Amino acid sequence: MADDATILLDQALRDLEAAADEPAVEAWRIAVLGRNGSLNALMSRIGAIPTDERRAFGAAANQMKQQMEAAFAERNEALRRASLERETAQAIDVTLPGRPLAIGHYHPTTQIVREISGIFERMGFSVVEGPEVEWDYYNFEALNIPKDHPARDMWDTIWVSPEGPRAEKPMLMRTHTSPMQVRVMEQTEPPIRVIVPGRCYRYEATDATHESMFYQIEGLAVDEGIGLADLKGTLYEFARQMFGEQRKVRFRCDYFPFVEPGVDMSIDCFKCDGKGCRTCKNSGWIEILGAGMVHPEVLRRAGYDPDRYTGFAFGMGPERVAMLRYGIEDIRLFYANDLRFLRQF
């Protein structure tokens, strides 16, 4: 019996060492240490051993079982570690640099807003923001656009108040950033130099050049002795910094209820150098903003004396500037959330 036990132990350990993977080791455990395994078969023969030798044989058998179990655990752990190392080696090479984390970037509109803001900040303007849900008073009346005035037809308004413009205090989604002209003047003593970037909303059908939500950047300067030459010089410097020093600038008369006189500003087409092309509709010029001298009535409503103070205001659409700079033909692309478009900027 002792010889059989020794033979069984030696053979079992050799078989265990030859097991090449975890399933083979598990099969070895069942064949040797399982209920019907070879070790239990050997133990079942203890009845054939003389009585005085059984105790010694039982102790030796238990020791052999512990030795087999320890060898099984060690072999199983070694195979598990080897398998894990192989999987790790296939998944990643630890000697290579780490993989960089994917990060986003600013939306193209945000990039243009920040660039425009930076240009005016360098010229002494401060950046302020205002409410997107606005009172009718600030959006229209304080800007020299009284109730039932035809000029209100220039803006397709989204009303928040249930009664619309007939409410006692009508409220709306602001149609432009110009309400901040009055809000800033009400809270500030001249001199004033501010720009106001922000979202605006209009109830209109969307197409390649119109969106129901878009950005505007309003500018306002108020002080004693400000004239149209200051407006032209400021906007000319902006155009040179934004579109290049070689740009030519053109001012033409235009109408806005809250400025007098009103102008629009165009730059010579940077696609064709003013010769005429599809981008400038063969005119050689591209309109980029509207501006003018702040209307005396607007100054008066804000509590300023128009005989003492004058100022200029301007407004532009960052999306339009981005469309001109990058050759984008459809404004709807900005907010379609198509990463193929956004990743280009």
Any catalytic annotation for residue 60? no
Maximum Cα–Cα distance for the chain, whole Å? 130
Any catalytic annotation for residue 155? yes
d(CA 51, CA 290): 115
Any catalytic annotation for residue 176? yes
Any catalytic annotation for residue 11? no
Determine contact, residues 112/238, Cβ cutoff 8 Å. no
Q: State phi, psi for 176 to the nearest 5 degrees.
A: -160, 170
Catalytic residue among 25, 249, 259, 321: 259
Any catalytic annotation for residue 202? yes
Comparing CA positions, the residue from 226, 232, 192 lying closest to residue 310 is: 226
Q: What residue type is 37 in one-letter code?
A: G
Catalytic residue among 114, 202, 250, 325: 202
Residue identified by tokens 């130099």 is: 193
Catalytic residue among 28, 135, 155, 285: 155
Any catalytic annotation for residue 216? yes
d(CA 204, CA 97): 52
Catalytic residue among 194, 313, 321, 322: 313
d(CA 100, CA 272): 42
Axis crossing angle, helix 22-33 with helix 2-18, rounded to the nearest 10: 170
Catalytic residue among 216, 239, 301, 302: 216
- Helix or strand or coil: residue 264? strand
Catalytic residue among 29, 75, 176, 320: 176
Length of the chain: 345
d(CA 108, CA 177): 20
Catalytic residues, by residue number, are 155, 176, 202, 216, 259, 313
